[in-house]
Chain A
């Protein structure tokens, strides 16, 4: 099934409803459909359609036009350095590229996002429906190495949409504020979900707390998706400007893409008691969300006196109805409730496939996410970092998260990360990078060590401590641990 069907159904059933707004541009589903057919006509003979620009109305047009012509859509991170962009474009070539500003690469023909809307002729063919066709190729963020090109097929994405969204289930008055970048899986699923639900997308190309709040009020936005750092910055911004988080039209906020600090979600729920919060956990390779902590789960955990229920506010919830999750140990055997291991996932929406390295699914269709975690006895999934980030000290596995959770409690520590450092005796040991609340009076190193020793045990005590003014995060809030490991190794 081709994802273009989503737009076709929307344009057929609600042609005059507003589909997408960006700045002063406003398109209905019919406008969107016309633009898609017009761009599709420019794609004769094109093998791939790449997109290297910030979020804008051209992004959904490009995605559906590529689908209509049966070619892959490849959105690329425009924030990368020029040499990185050049190297990605070489991997995508030959292709048509939508961009205002891209390096010259052989085989890449450029048109600007504005030209996407030049109404020349319209392509009136049908979207091809061949089984196994590729819809989207997404470069993973490359926090642990070179970016990999993940393949998402039409069947994966349609399984996700049909499994999670009811067609035209949004009220005409509803809208969602899209501030995630177009090259992120959450940016892709935002388009597919919103169009299928009939929910107007309000695009915000460059996130700042101020711009987000202004747009949310101006457009009476009812829904939003945020990565945790964005929510944190919105709360900090309103507090430091003595403003209140006054968003009466906001009904629901979903978040995901990184670990949400406990304190941030509790603050958000206190400041916006009328808002339904949903935590969504997913990966590029799983066509977005696979687990949800829904609004009722949030409220139950927030109000509960039972520590096990309360802890669920730090979980990513339970698998979607059409998705299975399994935890396995080092020997690939299933773990019991409460035992941490590697997170495996199965379902039609799971692609688990990359250019070059093929499918990572095992013979029974399970995909190793490379995340670590455990399921509690009610089936809630708790994540515990990436498998690659585990510190192996003399054969003992140490999760950076447990050390970070303990240290962030210290009042003179604003942010902290634990990584593996080389150790002559143990192979690896714990190194921590601390962002002090006040850089001029950082905490005593001995105080840091004894706090970890008292709360955990001696194997967790950091052998190396460094202070930094801030930790390196990428634009979607993922901590770049690779950079921190380099800090210790030089």
Chain B
């Protein structure tokens, strides 16, 4: 699937929602709990085909190892997010003091 920054993706298996922050211009297979994520929320969720991992956490940013892609989890869920079969990792951001 061709996706671009700003695209919202919904899990087909759980509550997970993500927002695309930055992606390369390639075709990407973004999955959650093993099934492809969709641009609309499905009325009924399917069963997870891959239940390994701890699920997605709201507010965390997910990246691939090379950090060529980044997603913001806007709603957490039980499914794990992967791209092209490889699980994404939580981006460790430097904690800044509050300035406002």
Contacts and interface: CB of A to CB of B under 8 A. Distances in A.
A190 interface: yes
Contact of A289 (B58, B59, B94, B100): B100
Interface in B43-100: 58-61, 72, 74-76, 93-100
A225 B97 CA distance: 12
Given A5-B74, A129-B8, A162-B21, A252 B98 contact: yes
Contacts of B8: 129
Nearest to B72: A162
A46 B48 CA distance: 44
Interface in A281-316: 282, 288-289, 292, 294-295
Contact of A320 (B21, B58, B96): B96
B24 interface: no
A168 interface: yes
Interface string A7-35: 01100110000000000000000000000
Contacts of B96: 164-165, 292, 294, 320-321
Contacts of A254: 97-100
Given A162-B61, A167-B59, A294 B94 contact: no
A9 B59 CA distance: 8
Contact of A1 (B6, B98, B100): B6
A252 B97 contact: yes
Nearest to A129: B6
A307 B74 CA distance: 47
Nearest to A186: B100
B19 interface: yes
Given A1-B6, A1-B19, A278 B97 contact: yes
Contacts of A131: 6
Contacts of B94: 321
B16 to A, nearest CB: 12
Nearest to A12: B75
A190 B100 contact: yes
B97 A193 contact: no
Contacts of B6: 1, 129, 131
User: Which applies to chain A's interface (DSSP): helix, strand, loop or mixed?
Assistant: mixed
Contacts of A9: 58-59, 74-75
A176 interface: yes
Contacts, number: 74
| Interface size class of chain A, counting residues whose CB lies under 8 Å from the partner chain | 35 or more
Given A5-B19, A8-B74, A129-B8, A13 B58 contact: yes
Contacts of A190: 100
A292 B21 contact: no
A273 B97 CA distance: 17
A399 interface: no
A125 to B, nearest CB: 15
Which of A9, A12, A199, A276 has the most CB atoms of chain B within a 10 A radius of its CB? A9
B59 A168 contact: yes
A280 B76 CA distance: 32
A336 to B, nearest CB: 27
Interface string B1-36: 000011010000000000101000000000000000
Interface string A314-328: 000000110000000
30 contacts: A1-B21, A5-B74, A9-B58, A9-B75, A12-B75, A13-B59, A129-B6, A129-B8, A162-B61, A165-B98, A166-B59, A167-B58, A167-B59, A169-B95, A186-B100, A189-B100, A190-B100, A197-B98, A199-B98, A225-B100, A252-B98, A254-B97, A254-B99, A288-B100, A292-B96, A292-B97, A292-B99, A294-B96, A320-B96, A321-B96
Closest 5 CB pairs of A and B: A167-B59, A280-B99, A189-B100, A289-B99, A278-B97
Interface of A: 1, 5, 8-9, 12-13, 129, 131, 162, 164-169, 176, 186, 189-190, 193, 197, 199, 223, 225, 252, 254, 256, 276, 278, 280, 282, 288-289, 292, 294-295, 320-321
Interface of B: 5-6, 8, 19, 21, 58-61, 72, 74-76, 93-100
Given A193-B100, A223-B98, A289-B99, 8 more contacts: A1-B21, A9-B58, A162-B21, A166-B59, A167-B59, A168-B59, A189-B100, A278-B98
